[in-house]
């Protein structure tokens, strides 16, 4: 127990060495003083709390918030000293806020506990004591041999020992880990692959040595030592031998594996990454405003304390006859009395800080985020994917974006590759009717005839069909799965052969060679088989040199049917051409550049033939590097460089990746909205420029500037100065900048300011040949520049994760490169075109809603507490409260909370269609305009002005003559305070009604319902003598107030006097200085409002327009929203609309809900 506590506190880390030793079947050595290592159990813990630490841990986290901690201090002060208000006035709102937040967080954690228990209690089979034993997943220990059956998930990270296949291979999918749905082949070492029964596994004597746990899914360094007949055989272990927890077994009956990483040490658990907390600009402004209001609070408290002692300098006010001091009060310390009075005033005015602001903002963000998922315009029907919100804290940030950084492949393009052209031995070829034809030559071969390929062409096609990691899935009639080679030779063993690849390029190339007559048949880990025009050839697979981002190439070493050892390699031209010694180098380079200018993705293919002596050296060095436990990656990199040289150039391929739908319109809409778009891609210069031109990122009339192929700092600096001068000279022309990765590194090293100056004066920037970390550096450079612009990064692959996490807002595309980007993003959408509506509509709405919410909260609290401050001037600063304690408590919780919450969920300044068709409206809210200091001062001064009118209006109307009752009965201070409070509740509620542009039945209900609730509650509260209250000050006060005609007159006059200037200001500004948004509102009003019928997508059962479904949906939305009015204008949108033709209201139905109507 003590050791566990020390581990939890971090004093006793469980792992002391860099490696771990795992004894298979936990057969520990019997000799010597062996001390077994301690490993984590197999429980997965994603929950945050336990039943024991929930209360203290949750309270600690909540009181780390400044506002909560502040109110806790105020509450404690009320308990410790004699204050004018009851501790309940601060304690109850604080308790409400803390309780609501704790319930929400507790419920979310309970769901996590429930999911954990389900996973940890799943049944598994483990080999123990010579038999197969069923147990729970949480009971698996490191060293246990686990059996996993077909379609089951792996319960821990296992090293594969054997499978039902003789060669010890199995197929898995890692969709739940990285989103890749292709089949991956994993291998067992030959010495353990033969142990296919429980008895043989029990007799297996083997030890696994591997690295300590790390989060990288694609890295595993280890070795296995198998003892056979007294001889120790050492084999390397890599990622291809490790079965990750969460992956699923496919096309294999069963496997046995030894657990090496369990529970929270498994790679899946280590990837439960706590992303760094992103804070929106609105939240930062809110915190700034809170500090300002804290300053106002301290000023009012200090001023009141000073004025109290200044007033009491006269004896008649210091100790009046009706309030004689006790002897203890006369002898008490003046400093302590001053501090006590200061704290009392602090308590009296503390409600100027709105505690419920945080809860309301959290609820608004949480509930508001559902609208993104519900929006059918963001639903992609083909892939059945809707928009996801992973972080609701940044909703309003979508309305503040100034820079968009986007990946190209899979984000702007479809990531669906189609083979177009290739270059073989310096000659360009095209595919025509499934045949390889030299450029300029027509396909004159009759259909069905076998083309005659020359040696270079055949070698090139064989290299392309063998140098890859493609897997094959066979759909079989009999349902069994055996050796793919045997299947390929049977006429009825399968119905269809389908290729799966982690890279779409590889799949497109293998499919292309198949059409041309060189068909890849299968790979069983030891052999690869192809058919060349029907003739079968089997190659022995000796080594695979895996692709990595540094080398930018991958290779295979094969033994041909004739016994020759050959290396096939493919990769980027910059990674292959420098290492070639023969072949048509210059012609191929020209062809690669031509392919790139057409926007094709290029790969260069080469080979190398080994002599017997050369191969022995290669094999020895590879074995040494792969069995090394220390610095394995560095050693392998050196060996790969040694092998991949002196290459013979075979040719190059050109694969097309077509643009996604409406990319050009989306980029143009973002540009009109004032958002600069940067494209960051790993593609070569010519390919990237061609795609940028085709997608509208670069215009044909744009002056393209280049910062590429810079070799030194001085050369880079000089080029940047030339570009800066050119921009100043041609300031009328739009400029686009192209930068490559090498030049970018030089520019960021010494010349950041000059580089930024050039970039900011360019309308569009394209960065090519970018490494993943360089993408993040570019985003960070813009993010931390003096202007502090709001940045958004969007991508679809693992190489975009660092960029997505670095930007203020990260958006993942649900593409074909896995789900890493989606898992690490704040929002996820299926297509790039959805970005326009996400920013221009949702971002616009979220920002205006929460900006108004924040300003309104501060305004209504100034209105609330300023009359309390003014009242002290009339009561000798005696700390007498103006309002009853119940009103103090319920003002923010009940009387004024719901209208602003509903407003912040449904408000729309203009119709969504208008926002999309006029992207320039996005500029009206840019740079946090609605939360600027000027706007903040306006709302604050408005609150003070209204508070003065509340107080002095009531004072003038009833201060001098308090006989407002018909029978001559006088009003007291509680009646005066209740009058001020009544006027205030009505005014602040109607003020929000004036700010509301989009009225639903819900707005009407909470607006008028809040006012009605206040009157009903006050009548009920003041009409009964409550036995548990110490005083009955409010008894019958409200009834008397409402029975006075003068009081009703005062309420009407004061409310009108407060709101009339606001109405006048709005009318004058709208007609004299209208904003673009107000102009759009005016145009929309003149043309006729868009009905719900128009704003829904009217699609009939078979895709044709028809009113049936539309009318039913419209009526449902009418019932929900209450917005629809009879249409005054018939507005129809054609399919040629530049932005989304199927425009709908923000609150739309999901496909599931729609199917019920």
Catalytic sites, residue numbers = 407
| CA dist., res. 333 & res. 294, Å (int) | 28
| CA dist., res. 545 & res. 612, Å (int) | 19
Contact partners, residue 288, CB within 8 Å, separation at least 6: none
Pick the closest to residue 226 from 189, 178, 270, 269 (CA basis): 189
List Cα–Cα distances, 798 to 389, 803, 807, in angstroms.
Answer: 19, 10, 15
Question: Which position has the token pair 């013979």?
Answer: 648
Pick the closest to residue 352 from 861, 853, 854, 857 (CA basis): 861
Whether the CA torsion 301, 985, 854, 1075 is positive or negative: it is negative
Phi, psi of 1020 (to 5 degrees): -70, -45
* DSSP helix, strand, coil percent of the chain (3-state; round to 5): 50, 20, 35
DSSP assignment letter at 1106: -
Helix axes 54-62, 87-120, angle to 10 degrees: 120
| CA dist., res. 512 & res. 435, Å (int) | 9
Under 8 Å between Cβ of 952 and 959: no
| CA dist., res. 1023 & res. 1007, Å (int) | 25
Beta bridge partners of 809: 792
Under 8 Å between Cβ of 1049 and 971: no
| CA dist., res. 197 & res. 206, Å (int) | 16
Total residues belonging to the chain: 1157
List Cα–Cα distances, 569 to 49, 417, 442, 543, 604, in angstroms.
Answer: 52, 20, 31, 12, 8
| CA dist., res. 393 & res. 236, Å (int) | 46
To 5 degrees, how large is the angle CA 594–CA 600–CA 604?
Answer: 75
Burial of 934 (0-12, 13-18, 19+ CB in 10 A): exposed
| CA dist., res. 640 & res. 548, Å (int) | 11
| CA dist., res. 668 & res. 996, Å (int) | 31
List Cα–Cα distances, 990 to 341, 890, 903, 962, 1108, in angstroms.
Answer: 36, 18, 12, 28, 40
SS3 87: helix
Pick the closest to residue 223 from 204, 205, 238, 239 (CA basis): 238
Dihedral angle over CA of 1107, 1109, 1111, 1117, nearest 10 = -150
CA Rg value for the chain: 37
SS3 530: strand
Q: How many other CB atoms are there within 10 angstroms of residue 101's CB atom?
A: 18
Question: Which position has the token pair 């800080």?
Answer: 353
Question: Which position has the token pair 């360089």?
Answer: 774
Tell me how far apart the terminal alpha carbons of the chain are, to the nearest angstrom: 60
SS3 180: strand
Beta bridge partners of 125: 134, 147
Phi, psi of 1034 (to 5 degrees): -95, 5
Pick the closest to residue 467 from 433, 416, 501 (CA basis): 501
């Amino acid at each position: 127990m003590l050791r566990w506590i020390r581990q939890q506190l971090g004093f006793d880390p469980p792992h002391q060495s860099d490696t771990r030793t795992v004894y298979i079947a936990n057969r520990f050595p019997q000799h010597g003083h062996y001390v077994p290592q301690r490993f984590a159990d197999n429980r997965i813990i994603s929950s945050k709390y336990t039943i024991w630490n929930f209360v203290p841990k949750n309270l600690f986290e909540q009181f780390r918030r400044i506002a909560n901690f502040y109110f806790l201090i105020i509450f404690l002060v009320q308990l410790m000293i004699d204050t004018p208000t009851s501790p309940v006035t601060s304690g109850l709102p604080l308790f409400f806020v803390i309780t609501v937040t704790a319930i929400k967080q507790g419920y979310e954690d309970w769901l996590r506990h429930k999911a954990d228990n389900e996973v940890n209690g799943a049944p598994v089979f483990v080999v123990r004591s010579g038999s197969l034993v069923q147990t729970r997943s949480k009971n698996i220990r490191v060293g246990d041999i686990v059996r996993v059956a077909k379609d089951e998930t792996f319960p821990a990270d296992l090293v594969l020992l054997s499978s039902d296949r003789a060669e010890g291979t199995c197929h898995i999918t890692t969709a739940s880990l990285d989103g890749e749905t292709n089949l991956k082949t994993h291998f067992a070492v030959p010495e353990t692959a033969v142990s296919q029964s429980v008895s043989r596994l029990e007799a297996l004597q083997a030890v696994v040595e591997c690295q300590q746990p790390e989060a990288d899914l694609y890295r595993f360094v280890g070795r296995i030592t198998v003892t056979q007949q007294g001889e120790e055989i050492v084999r390397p272990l890599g990622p291809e031998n490790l079965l990750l927890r969460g992956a699923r077994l496919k096309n294999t009956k069963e496997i046995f594996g030894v657990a090496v990483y369990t529970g929270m040490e498994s790679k899946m658990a280590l990837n439960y990454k706590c992303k760094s907390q992103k804070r929106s600009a609105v939240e930062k402004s809110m915190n700034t405003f809170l500090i300002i209001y804290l300053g106002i609070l301290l000023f009012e408290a200090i001023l009141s304390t000073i004025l109290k002692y200044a007033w009491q300098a006269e004896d008649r006010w210091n100790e009046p006859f009706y309030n004689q001091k006790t002897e203890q009060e006369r002898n008490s310390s003046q400093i302590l009395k001053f501090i006590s009075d200061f704290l009392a005033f602090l308590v009296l005015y503390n409600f100027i800080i709105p505690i419920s602001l945080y809860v309301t903002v959290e609820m608004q963000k949480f509930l508001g985020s559902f609208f993104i998922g519900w929006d059918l315009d963001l639903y992609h029907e083909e892939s059945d994917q809707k928009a996801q919100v992973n972080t609701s804290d940044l909703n309003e940030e979508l309305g503040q974006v100034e820079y968009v950084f986007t990946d190209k492949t899979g984000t702007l393009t479809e990531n669906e590759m189609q083979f177009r052209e290739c270059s073989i031995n310096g000659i360009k070829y095209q595919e025509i009717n499934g045949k390889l034809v030299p450029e300029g030559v027509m396909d004159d071969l009759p259909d069905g005839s076998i083309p005659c390929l020359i040696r270079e062409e055949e070698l090139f096609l064989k290299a392309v069909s063998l140098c890859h990691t493609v897997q094959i899935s066979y759909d079989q009639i009999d349902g069994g799965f055996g050796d793919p080679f045997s299947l390929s030779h049977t006429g009825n063993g399968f119905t269809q052969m389908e290729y799966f690849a982690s890279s779409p390029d590889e799949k497109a190339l293998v499919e292309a060679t198949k059409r041309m007559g060189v068909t890849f048949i299968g790979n069983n880990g030891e052999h690869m088989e192809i058919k060349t025009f029907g003739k079968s050839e089997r190659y022995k697979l000796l080594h695979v040199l895996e692709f990595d981002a540094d080398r930018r190439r991958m290779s295979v070493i094969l033994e041909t049917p004739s016994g020759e050892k050959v290396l096939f390699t493919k990769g980027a031209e910059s990674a292959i051409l420098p290492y070639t010694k023969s072949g048509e180098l210059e012609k191929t380079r020209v062809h690669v550049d031509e392919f790139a200018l057409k926007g094709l993705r290029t790969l260069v293919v080469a080979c190398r033939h080994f002599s017997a002596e050369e191969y022995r050296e290669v094999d020895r060095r590879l074995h040494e590097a792969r069995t090394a436990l220390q610095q394995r990656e560095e050693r392998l990199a050196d060996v790969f460089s040694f092998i991949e040289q002196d290459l013979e150039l075979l040719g190059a391929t050109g694969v097309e990746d077509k643009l996604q739908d409406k990319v050009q319109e989306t980029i143009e809409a973002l540009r009109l909205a004032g958002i600069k778009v940067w494209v960051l891609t790993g593609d070569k210069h010519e390919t990237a420029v061609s795609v940028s031109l085709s997608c509208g990122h670069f215009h044909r009339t744009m002056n393209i500037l280049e910062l590429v192929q810079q070799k030194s700092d001085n050369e880079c600096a000089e080029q940047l100065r030339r570009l800066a001068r050119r921009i100043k000279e041609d300031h009328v022309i739009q400029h686009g900048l192209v930068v490559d990765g090498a030049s970018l590194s030089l520019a960021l090293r010494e010349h950041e300011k000059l580089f930024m100056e050039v970039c900011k004066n360019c309308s569009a920037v394209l960065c090519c040949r970018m490494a993943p970390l360089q993408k993040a550096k570019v985003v960070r450079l813009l993010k931390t520049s003096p202007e502090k612009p709001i940045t958004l990064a969007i991508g679809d692959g693992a190489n975009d994760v660092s960029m997505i996490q670095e930007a203020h807002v990260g958006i993942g595309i649900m593409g074909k490169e896995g789900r890493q980007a989606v898992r690490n993003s704040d929002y996820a959408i299926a297509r790039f075109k959805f970005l326009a509506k996400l920013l221009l509509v949702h971002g616009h709405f979220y920002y205006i809603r929460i900006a108004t919410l924040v300003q309104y909260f501060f305004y209504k609290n100034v209105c609330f507490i300023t009359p309390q401050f003014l009242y002290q001037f009339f009561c000798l600063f005696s700390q007498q409260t103006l309002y009853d304690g119940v009103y103090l408590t319920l003002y923010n919780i009940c009387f004024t909370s719901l209208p602003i919450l509903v407003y912040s969920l449904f408000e729309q300044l203009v119709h969504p269609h208008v926002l999309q068709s006029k992207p320039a409206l996005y500029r009206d809210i840019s740079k946090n305009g609605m939360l600027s200091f000027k706007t903040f001062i306006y709302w604050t001064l408005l609150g003070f002005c209204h508070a003065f009118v509340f107080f002095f209006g009531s004072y003038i109307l009833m201060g001098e003559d308090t006989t407002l009752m018909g029978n001559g009965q006088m009003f007291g201070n509680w009646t005066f305070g209740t009058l001020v409070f009544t006027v205030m509740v009505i005014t602040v509620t109607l003020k929000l009604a004036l700010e509301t542009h989009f009225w639903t039945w819900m707005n009407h209900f909470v607006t008028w319902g809040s006012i009605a609730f206040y009157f009903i509650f006050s009548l009920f509260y003041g009409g009964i003598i409550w036995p548990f209250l110490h005083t009955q000050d409010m008894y019958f006060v409200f009834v008397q107030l409402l029975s006075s005609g003068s009081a009703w007159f005062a309420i009407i006059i004061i409310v009108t006097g407060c709101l009339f200037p606001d109405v006048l200001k709005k009318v004058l500004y709208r007609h004299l200085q209208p904003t673009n948004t107000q102009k759009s509102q005016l145009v929309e009003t003149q043309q006729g409002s868009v009905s719900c019928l128009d704003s829904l997508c009217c699609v009939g059962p078979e895709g044709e327009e028809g009113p049936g479904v539309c009318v039913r949906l419209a009526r449902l939305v009418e019932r929900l929203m209450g917005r629809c009015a009879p249409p005054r204008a018939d507005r129809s949108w054609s399919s040629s609309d530049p932005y989304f033709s199927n425009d709908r209201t923000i609150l739309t139905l999901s496909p599931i809900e729609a199917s019920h109507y």
